[in-house]
Amino acid sequence: MYNVPLLHHELMEANLPISSISLTDEIVIKYERELTVEEQTLADTIIADHDPNKLTPWEEDDIREIDSRTSWKDLGVWATWEAQQAQDYVDSEILNGWDVSEAETWIEDNVTTLETAKDALKVLAGSIITTRNILGIIAKVILYIRDILIKRL
C-alpha cells in the first residue's frame, strides 16, 4: 500500500529525477533518466521505508491550520477580549496591579513575623503562577497566529 502523493514528495525531497508515479495493481515510478546505482539504492530505501499512513507536508499544514482555529476557540473569554480588557485582567490578577512602591509598602506593613512572611510568600507564589498561566496563553496565541500565517504565505 502506498500514499502516492507522499511517496512522490519523499522521492523529490531526495533529489531523485522523478517524472511520475502511478498505482494500479502495483506502483510504477518513472524517472526522467536512468538512475545511478546510488540513486537506485536511495530510491529503493525510500520506497521500502515509506509509511502510507503518514501525512504529506501540505496535509500536515492543513491540519495545523484547522487545529489552530479550533484551539483559538478553546482560549475562552481571552479569545474575545479587547486589548484593554486583557491588560485590566493582568493588572488585577498579578499582585493586585501594584507598582513596585505599592508592593514594597505592603511588604513593610504586613510582613512582620514568620507567619506573615509565609502569607506574603503565598501571595507572591499565586502571582507567579498566574503570570505563568498568562504567559502560557500568550505563547499559544502566538503559535496559533504563526500557524495561520504560515498557511497563508
Residue 117 sits in the same domain as residue 46: no
Confidence of residue 70 (pLDDT cuts 50, 70, 90): low
| Mean pLDDT (the chain, rounded) | 83
Contacts 24+ apart (CB under 8 A), 52-56: 52/1, 52/2, 52/3, 52/6, 53/3, 54/3, 54/6, 55/6, 56/3, 56/5, 56/6, 56/9
Joined together, the cell numbers standing for residue 41 give: 539504492
70 & 97 share domain: yes
Angstrom distance (rounded) from CA 92 to CA 105: 18
Residue 84 neighbours by CB under 8 Å, 6+ apart = none
Average pLDDT (117-128) is 85
Q: 89 and 136 share a domain?
A: yes
Q: Given this model, what pLDDT does residue 43 score?
A: 94
Residue 153 has pLDDT above 60, yes or no: no
* 76 and 142 together in one domain: yes
Closest CA to 2 of 27, 29, 32, 35: 27
Structural domain harbouring 72:
58-152
The reply to whether 75 and 144 lie within a common domain is yes
DSSP of 10-70: HHHHTT--EEEEEESSSEEEEESSPPPHHHHHHHHHHHHH--TTSPPHHHHHHHHHHHHHH
**Residues 71 and 141 placed together within one structural domain of the fold:** yes
| Pair (111, 145) in one structural domain | yes
Residues 87 and 135 placed together within one structural domain of the fold: yes
Tell me the mean pLDDT in the region 14-35: 89
The three cell numbers locating residue 151? 498557511
Considering the domain architecture, whether residues 144 and 69 belong to the same structural domain is answered as yes
- Asked if pLDDT for residue 142 goes beyond 60, the answer is yes
What is the total count of domains within the chain? 2
Residue that finishes a domain, picked among 32, 53, 74: 53
Verify that 47 and 66 share a domain, yes or no: no
**Alpha-carbon radius of gyration of the chain:** 28
Residues 76, 107, single domain; the answer is yes
81 and 127 assigned to the same domain: yes
Averaged over 9-19, what is the pLDDT?
Answer: 91
